[in-house]
Amino acid sequence: MGYFKIRNLSSNGGFGEVFLCKDEFENKYALKELKKRNKDSIRRFQREVRLIDKMDHPNVLKLVFFHVSEAPYFYVMPLYKCDLIQVIPNLYEDYYRQSQIISAILNGVQYLHSEGIIHRDLKPGNILYNSDSDLVISDLGLGVEENSETTILTKSTRIGTEKYTAPEQWENLHSVDERADIFSLGKIIEDIVSDFGKKNYNPIFGTIIDKCTRNSPEDRFESVSELKKYVSQVYAILLDNVEEKKTEDKLLEVTNDTISNADLLKLASSLIESGNLDNVEKFFVNITGTKYDKFESTNDALAKKMVSSLIQYWDQPNWPFSYIDTIANTSSKLFIYSEDVTIRANLLYNLTKLSIEYNRWYAMKKVKVMLQDLETDLSLKADFCHMLNANPLKLDIIFGGKDNLPMSIKKINSIQTKYF
């Protein structure tokens, strides 16, 4: 067999045997040799080689070498770790891996169809696997070119794997089109999302599986391209939910103070990039003083950006009255934790403004406590006064009238005349 040395049997199938072999440089390959040598089997094997040799796609098997002009009939292909049968049990509810693998399979089948090839025997055992991004469609022994006028199979031939074979293929093997492969793809997807039917799959897959596997070809997806759109939409939803669940888990770690400083930074960055201000608020509601101190001291710019975004989020009309008390608690907490003057001044000004607008006594009590820091923090006093100068607030409302203003507030010379 030329320069290939057969080492041992890798697998045994009904149509051919697959051996592990090495070339003269000790590179490992798989060698598939025709087992049945009757006239029809030889012609079928030769046709499989002809079809594979014409293909050029990363998700369709490539040939390294072949010999089909006379016995022994064989071809050599890259060696893969396993087929999809061995992989599927590890995919249940791992939506990212599922999406990668299904996408690769659909890409390979779509390419075959674009080349006018109907596979007709798609199943997990005919998908060879190295990794989620390195897998190929193999075994084109039943593959047929749509416009081919010659074939070794008769009209009544019944070939295929029952579970994965479209009903019309049993009736007339040569009457099938792309939708026969779509039936098989539906069955493969069902296997992937349910671990071969051993577990319940997410109901979101129901429409795809049902439409792929309907008895009438007219009721199925018209093309792999159409199927891909539906699959992409489903996994976009699922993966978005997974990311949200991961975020929720990380936010819980913030609450429990078990999150590492590195993960805290990653979480904060992802929250600000996502624009999900509800989760930004949860981040600050949950964070402990120790974690916040470490976060701000090492990532002051990010802390400022997050607090600024949160304040803009809070500074919206028509909040429920009780929510202003929630804002007051979070603002007061961050005001105490923070060492950054800009952050503290912004928190103080915004809560003062909201407590007056909504006339919330609980929030006003928090503001009164926060205002006491103006006596000792001159930088905070200067920033706060600057904000008041730009956008005046009626601070006397908080204290129940001008006569009740504390002396420390009255002594803010730059603002007392204007606002008290």
The C-alpha atoms of residue 326 and residue 380 are separated, in whole angstroms, by 23
The C-alpha atoms of residue 295 and residue 265 are separated, in whole angstroms, by 7
Contacts of 191 (CB under 8 A, 6+ apart): 88, 124, 197
The C-alpha atoms of residue 276 and residue 8 are separated, in whole angstroms, by 57
The C-alpha atoms of residue 186 and residue 191 are separated, in whole angstroms, by 9
pLDDT of residue 414: 42
DSSP 3-state of 91: coil
Does pLDDT of 1 surpass 70? no
**419 close to 394: Cβ distance less than 8 angstroms:** yes
Least confident of 111-115, 145-149, 363-367, 370-374: 145-149
When pLDDT is averaged across residues 355-376 and rounded to a whole number, the result is: 94
Does pLDDT of 228 surpass 80? yes
Q: Which CATH number fits domain 82-238: 3.40.50.2300, 3.90.1640.30, 3.55.50.30, 1.10.510.10?
A: 1.10.510.10
Determine the length of the chain.
420
> Would residue 61 be called left, alpha or beta, if left means φ above 0 and alpha means ψ between -120 and 50 degrees?
beta
Q: Class of the 5-78 domain?
A: alpha beta
The C-alpha atoms of residue 68 and residue 83 are separated, in whole angstroms, by 25
Quick one: pLDDT band at residue 331, thresholds 50, 70, 90?
Answer: very high
pLDDT digits (tens, 9 = 90+) for 400-416: 888 777 776 766 534 44
| Token couple for 308 | 């600024």
Mean pLDDT across the chain: 86
Predicted TM-score (pTM) of the model is 0.60
**328 close to 363: Cβ distance less than 8 angstroms:** yes
In sequence order, what DSSP letters do the residues of 274-303 get, joined into one string? HT-HHHHHHHHHH--HHHHHHHHHH-HHHH
pLDDT digits (tens, 9 = 90+) for 36-61: 888 888 988 898 898 899 999 999 99
Does pLDDT of 12 surpass 70? no
Contacts of 347 (CB under 8 A, 6+ apart): 307, 311, 331, 334, 335, 338, 370
pLDDT of residue 411: 63
Least confident of 82-86, 277-281, 346-350: 277-281
Spell out the domain ranges in the chain.
Answer: 5-78, 82-238, 251-419
pLDDT of residue 79: 94
Quick one: pLDDT band at residue 4, thresholds 50, 70, 90?
Answer: low
Does pLDDT of 155 surpass 50? no
The C-alpha atoms of residue 228 and residue 232 are separated, in whole angstroms, by 6
> Greater confidence, 416 or 377?
377
| Residue whose tokens read 């009164």 | 368
Does pLDDT of 350 surpass 60? yes
Alpha-carbon torsion (361, 366, 369, 371), positive or negative: negative
pLDDT of residue 24: 83
Quick one: pLDDT band at residue 340, thresholds 50, 70, 90?
Answer: very high
DSSP 3-state of 10: strand
Q: How many CA atoms lie within 13 A of 363 on its CB side?
A: 25
Nearest to 199, CA basis, from 291, 100, 305, 91: 91
pLDDT digits (tens, 9 = 90+) for 94-104: 999 999 999 99
